[in-house]
Amino acid sequence: MVGASPNWKRPSNFAMKYLQEKGYRVIPVNPRAASGGVSILGEPACASLADVPAPVDMVDVFRSSDAALEITREAIRLREEKRIEVVWMQLGVRNDEAAAEAVAAGLTVVMDRCPKIEYGRLSGELGWGGVDSGVISSRRPRMTLALRRRRSR
């Protein structure tokens, strides 16, 4: 996860923790954290994609749309060595030039999506309202005794 933050309040930290809880190993790429020897959610931070141990199934870009181009180019350069298959750009991150280069290099590209949200959506954890609240249902609500009394007046 390029742009993973050690700050628990940041979306990247929350998404990383969620994916770890689902059984994925997420390696944080954060040059500042790596230079300070900081671990993020139990994983030592790496300074760049080149420092991440192979294999890498997916590069999750948690940086700006502008930064996505260089990150994607690094993923393309390291594709064979790291066995990178997917470049995934987070919500709000879209770079068509990066996507075109990645696709031309044989990588799968996902833009403007969050793997945490997609995992929850596809696994049935999330309802239409964004959470499994049990409130939203296709079933017709049962009429309560109080409601029946009001309607009969």
Helix 11-21 crosses helix 115-123 at what angle (to 10 degrees)?
40
Helix (H) or strand (E) holding 108: strand 108-110
Q: Locate tokens 């300074």: which residue?
A: 47
Report if residue 103 sits inside a domain: yes
Report if residue 43 sits inside a domain: yes
Supply the CATH number for residue 118's domain.
3.40.50.720
pTM across the whole model: 0.79
Report if residue 20 sits inside a domain: yes
Summarize pLDDT for 69-119 with one digit per residue, the tens. 999 999 999 999 999 999 999 999 999 999 999 999 999 999 999 999 999
Summarize pLDDT for 19-49 with one digit per residue, the tens. 999 999 999 999 999 999 999 999 999 999 9
Q: Which of 136, 132, 93, 96 is nearest to 115 (CA)?
A: 93
> Domain tally for the chain?
1
